[in-house]
């Protein structure tokens, strides 16, 4: 399988990464190099093979559903590019 320029733009959109018109052909070449490298996987017979979900077999540990930490909004928002009154600020999303 290989990708065309329209698919590259669609992937970039899904990944939320802006790409310029000049970058698209180059990215297409790189993505196709990777896809042609992984193409060999199609020759493996995987009939009836369980897909791996956990490399080290273990029971999922669970914790009590209760607040265990917090109460320091300054610290939580300390690295944010834009904040106001302990809220993260983003461009308007609802008119």
19 binds another protein (CB under 8 A): yes
For residue 14, what are the CA distances in angstroms to 3, 20, 36, 54? 15, 15, 22, 27
Considering only 64, 70, 71, 75, the residue that binds another protein (CB under 8 A) is: 75
33 binds another protein (CB under 8 A): yes
6 binds another protein (CB under 8 A): no
Rounded CA-CA distance 69/67 in Å is 6
Phi, psi of 23 (to 5 degrees): -75, -25
* CB nearer another protein, residue 50 or residue 85: 50
For residue 79, the 8-state DSSP code is: T
Query: 4 in helix, strand or coil?
Result: coil
Site residues for another protein per CB under 8 A: 1, 3, 7-8, 11-19, 27, 30-31, 33-35, 37-42, 44, 46, 49-56, 58, 60-61, 63, 75-82, 88, 90-93
């Amino acid at each position: 399988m290989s990708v065309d320029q329209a698919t590259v733009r669609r992937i970039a959109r899904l990944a939320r990464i802006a790409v310029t018109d000049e970058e698209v052909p180059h990215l297409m070449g790189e993505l196709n190099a990777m896809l042609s490298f992984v193409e060999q996987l199609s020759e493996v017979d995987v009939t009836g093979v369980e897909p791996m979900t956990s490399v080290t077999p273990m029971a999922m540990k669970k914790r009590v559903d209760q607040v265990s930490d917090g109460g320091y909004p300054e610290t939580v928002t300390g690295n944010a590019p834009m904040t106001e009154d302990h809220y993260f600020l983003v461009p308007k999303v609802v008119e």
